[in-house]
Amino acid sequence: MAELVDGLRLSVTTDDGLSMVAEHEGKVVGHVMFTRSLLDAPPRLVDVQVLSPVAVLPERQGRGIGSALIQRGLKVMIERSVPAVFLEGPPDYYARFGFRAGAEQGFRKPSLRIPDAAFQALRLPAHEPWMSGTLVYSETFWRHDAVGLREPDA
Ligand SMILES: CC(C)(COP(=O)(O)OP(=O)(O)OC[C@H]1O[C@@H](n2cnc3c(N)ncnc32)[C@H](O)[C@@H]1OP(=O)(O)O)[C@@H](O)C(=O)NCCC(=O)NCCS
């Protein structure tokens, strides 16, 4: 995971992305990243964002830190006119921010190894109806094999 974050961090500085930390008494207790990926829509490719990773120190979880980081990040995405944000994660958690299954919103997941329920999307105000299609993860996710679930014995 640390190597994935390092790889993504490079794209944050060179592309439109976002990396934010939460601090408590001078110590980092939470972190969230948004990085650019592509949506392969019928007329053309669209710049979208992927929310990954998000993490809060175990002893600080359940106090709203993850929610605060995600909500602040989504506000920045709206201000930047990003049309949609994608992620892989538990629907129970991300539904509170408005995320829904991507397949129900006209999006296709980038790998068959991502469970349907885990592939989630949030359309933002800049989204237009033609912006559907397959999410194409940035190369960093593939290079770190950080897409979907692997079956070690398959
Ligand atoms: C997921 C995570 C970032 C949430 O951060 P947090 O600061 O604990 O979250 P908040 O305090 O804002 O929200 C807590 C709520 O999230 C729920 N929640 C936390 N992890 C969850 C999960 N994996 N699935 C479903 N709900 C989850 C809690 O049950 C709690 O629910 P409640 O508000 O109904 O009581 C944090 O738990 C974490 O770092 N987990 C380990 C890393 C991880 O799983 N990252 C996400 C990968 S997609």
Phi first, then psi, for residue 96 (nearest 5°) are -65, -20
Give me the pLDDT at residue 105, please: 98
**What pLDDT is recorded for position 8?**
87
Domain 2-143, CATH: 3.40.630.30
Mean pLDDT, residues 65-90? 97
User: Residue 47 carries which side chain, given as an amino acid letter?
Assistant: D
Nearest atom within ligand 1 for CA of residue 61? 8
Instruction: Tell me if 85 sits within 8 A of 127, measured CB to CB.
Output: no
CA–CA separation, 123 vs 84, rounded Å? 4
The rounded distance, in Å, linking the Cα atoms of 117 and 20 is 26
- pTM of the model as a whole: 0.94
Give pLDDT, residue 15: 64
66 lines ligand 1 (CB under 6 A): yes
Nearest CA to ligand 1 atom 29: 62
Return the closest-CA partner of residue 13 out of 35, 46, 38: 35
Q: Which of 14, 33, 19 shows the shortest CA–CA distance to 141?
A: 33
Domain residue extents for the chain: 2-143
pLDDT of residue 16: 81
Q: Is 90 in the pocket of ligand 1 (CB under 6 A)?
A: yes
Name the closest-CA residue to atom 19, ligand 1.
93
Binding site membership of 72 for ligand 1 (Cβ less than 6 Å)? no
Six-digit token string for 111 = 């790998």
Chain segment 6-55, per-residue pLDDT in tens? 888 887 876 689 999 999 999 999 999 999 999 999 999 999 999 999 99
54 lines ligand 1 (CB under 6 A): yes
